[in-house]
Chain A
């Protein structure tokens, strides 16, 4: 089947029902399409209601508020100011991170999420770990189950925080500030891990296409394992916790090694270089294995106090 997705404006391929007009693979930001009309539509009912309510109080002048050219001009000015502000905010944000790139990571659908969760928990039967490309751009998560996404890590992170609050509440150790503490601790560990990965990839001049968001995605997948571990610990006690910890650690380690191996390690088939770079594949392997080994450690570190 020909997938023509060179401009992210792809319309449904897999026999879905006719999508609504403008349904693209990456949802487009249509909020800037008709700002003037929206603003007009928003302001008009307010003024009309103000006019009719004041009518009962005999405020005849208020009825003419909308037809007053002065108010009209002020409204136009206000809406243009708002547009300017919005453009400026967008420009500033897009200086730090490209919003389009971020949208790529959130273009998921239910089928992808379910398959990915199953792969995260049981990766041993998954055959093909290659991330598929199409004309040099990686396919979106909707079309390729191996593509990393940021939706699952975000949701899993939030669920983990809620679950931690619940677990602490069961142990009668809950207070609202603990929730914030838990959230910032987990966030700090993510930041540390991503920074260490970036540093080691830079030092070893690994020319992979792993961007920062990819690393955040891969390091956020461990929260799915953490949720599973904490749930089992809460339901089945200490034994269930350790069994679930062992299971999710193995699954996560396997998943990380198989996913990152494709991107970090050089393809062994095209070994044309064979220079004195024998140290390189070893070091790259060390990075992959170290990342994988780090996952169970951090899972244990962040969840052991929840299941006592």
Chain B
């Protein structure tokens, strides 16, 4: 019983890391390109500039968001389905 309380706030398992990663990637994948990102100035067509210069943080972030959305769209469907089934079965 004491074991639990000592470890409760810091005991990570690999499963909780996977869950956190899935949630984060889901959050990034949900950002819609034209309805949301361009409205706040984060669309990828607005990332022109800095030809010889190195791209800034914002451009890198936008590229990252766009590539995550493109790459992870299909695998996320599979991973989310598996996660839902597992949670329904095993709580």
Chain A residues within 8 Å of B, Cβ to Cβ:
173, 175, 178, 181, 184-185, 187-189, 191-192, 202-205, 275-277, 280, 301, 305
Contacts and interface: CB of A to CB of B under 8 A. Distances in A.
A275 B50 CA distance: 12
B10 A301 contact: yes
B3 A173 contact: yes
Contact of A178 (B7, B13, B17): B7
Contact of A184 (B6, B12, B64): B12
Could you tell me the dominant secondary structure of chain B's interface residues?
A: helix
Given A173-B2, A175-B3, A202-B60, A181 B17 contact: no
Given A202-B64, A205-B60, A181 B13 contact: yes
Nearest to B58: A203
Given A173-B2, A191-B17, A181 B11 contact: yes
Interface string B37-68: 00000000000000001110100110010000
A173 B57 contact: no
Interface in B5-42: 6-7, 10-14, 16-17
Interface residues of B, number: 18
B11 to A, nearest CB: 5
Give chain A's interface secondary structure class. helix
9 contacts: A173-B2, A178-B3, A178-B7, A184-B13, A185-B12, A188-B16, A205-B55, A275-B53, A305-B10
B57 A204 contact: yes
A173 B64 CA distance: 45
Given A181-B7, A204-B57, A188 B17 contact: yes
A203 B55 CA distance: 9
Contacts of B16: 188
A189 B12 contact: yes
A173 B11 CA distance: 15
Nearest to A185: B12
B31 to A, nearest CB: 17
A187 to B, nearest CB: 7
Contacts of B55: 205
A177 B6 CA distance: 14
Nearest to B3: A173
A178 B57 CA distance: 41
Given A181-B7, A204-B57, A276-B53, 12 more contacts: A173-B2, A175-B3, A178-B7, A185-B13, A188-B13, A188-B16, A202-B60, A275-B53, A277-B54, A280-B54, A301-B10, A305-B6
A189 B6 CA distance: 18
Contact of B61 (A187, A203, A276): A203
Nearest to A181: B11
A185 B10 contact: yes
